[in-house]
Amino acid sequence: MPDLPLPTPPQSRPLVCTLTIATSDSGAGAGVQADLKTFAALQVYGLSVLSGVTAQNTLAVTASACLPPDLVTAQLQAVFEDMKIAAIKIGLLGDAANTGRVASFLADICPATPLVLDPVMVSTSGHTFLAPAAISALKEIMPLATVITPNLPEAEALSGLAIRRPEDRRAAAERLREAGARRVLIKGGHGQGPEADDYLLGPEGETWFKGPRVETLNTHGTGCTLSAAICANLALGLELPQAIGQAKSYVTQGLRQSLRLGRGPGPLNHFHPYYHLES
C-alpha cells in the first residue's frame, strides 16, 4: 500500500457557523449531507436542523417522511440558544406545517441574518417532494431570504411562467420579486446547450453568471451544493455577486471531478479542493 501524503498544516482562521435546515439524503449526495460537506469544504462550521428523512440512492427515492413540527422547532431553538449563526441555508422542508414553523421562527429570531432559500421540489431521479399546499407555504419564506435559488423547472412552478429563452428568466424573476422575493437566482443547469448560465435579478439590477455545461451524468445534489456554497460565502463576508460567482466555480469543478457512486446519477465531489476520488 503506497504511503499517503502528509496533510498540509492547517491554517488558523476565525470560527464561523452556518446552518442548514433541510431533509436528510441517505445517499449523502444532496440534502443536509451535501450542505454539511460543502460547509466543511469551504471552511465554515456547519450546524443542521432536519425537517425530514428520505430513503434514497442514486436510482430513486423509495420513501420519505417529514419530522413533527414540534421537533423541527426544538432543533431550531437548540442551535439558536447556544451558538452564533452567520448565515442560513434552507432546502427541502417537506410539508406546509414545517415550512410555516420555520418561517415564523426565523422571522422572529433572525430577520437580518443572510439566508439562502433553495426551493427544492423534485429530485434528480424525478421524485416530487412538495404538495401544492407546501409550495404555497414556501412563498412565506421568500421575503425573508437574501436570495432564492430555483432551477428552471422550480422557477416555472413558482412564477407560473414558461421559461424557454433568456428573456423569459427576467420575466419569471420579476414575477417572483412581485411575490415577495428580494433577489432571485435562476440556475441554468436544466437548460440546453454548451453553457449553464445563471441569472440574478434584484434591486441592484441583473447579473449573468456564465459557466460551461459539464458533460457528466453525476449531477445529484448540485442545486443543494450551490446554495450551500453561497451561504458559506455570505457567512465569510462576501457580497452576494462574489458569493455566487465563487460558489458556481466550486460546483463546476466538483462536477468535473464528480463521483460514479452507484448505478444512477452520482454526486459531485464536494472535497475536490483537497483530493480527487477515482470512481
Kindly list the domain boundaries of the chain, sorted by start residue. 17-152+216-256
One-letter amino acid for residue 129 of the chain: F
Q: Supply the pLDDT for residue 277.
A: 85
Summary count for the chain: helices (H), strands (E): 8, 9
The rounded distance, in Å, linking the Cα atoms of 170 and 165 is 10
Q: Supply the pLDDT for residue 209.
A: 96
Catalytic residue of the set 89, 91, 146, 187: 187
3-state class of 173 per DSSP?
Answer: helix
> Can 187 be counted among the known catalytic residues?
yes
> Can 99 be counted among the known catalytic residues?
no
10-residue stretch averages of pLDDT, the chain, 279 residues long? 57 91 96 98 98 94 95 97 97 92 90 92 63 81 96 92 93 96 93 85 96 92 97 98 97 95 94 88
Catalytic residue of the set 20, 31, 38, 224: 224
> Can 38 be counted among the known catalytic residues?
no
> Can 222 be counted among the known catalytic residues?
yes
Task: Compute and round to an integer the Cα radius of gyration of the chain.
Answer: 18
Catalytic residue of the set 221, 245, 254, 266: 221
Buried-exposed string 235-263: b where 16+ CB fall within 10 A, e elsewhere: bbebebeebbbbbbebbbebbebbbbbee
One-letter amino acid for residue 156 of the chain: E
Q: Supply the pLDDT for residue 1.
A: 44
Distant-in-sequence, close-in-space partners of 220: CB < 8 Å, separation ≥ 6:
27, 29, 30, 58, 124, 264, 265, 266, 267, 268
User: 4 — phi, psi (to 5°)?
Assistant: -80, 145
Q: Supply the pLDDT for residue 5.
A: 59
Catalytic residue of the set 99, 222, 231, 245: 222
Q: Supply the pLDDT for residue 127.
A: 58
> Can 219 be counted among the known catalytic residues?
yes
The correct CATH number of 17-152+216-256 out of 3.90.1150.50, 3.40.30.10, 2.60.40.3080, 3.40.1190.20 is 3.40.1190.20
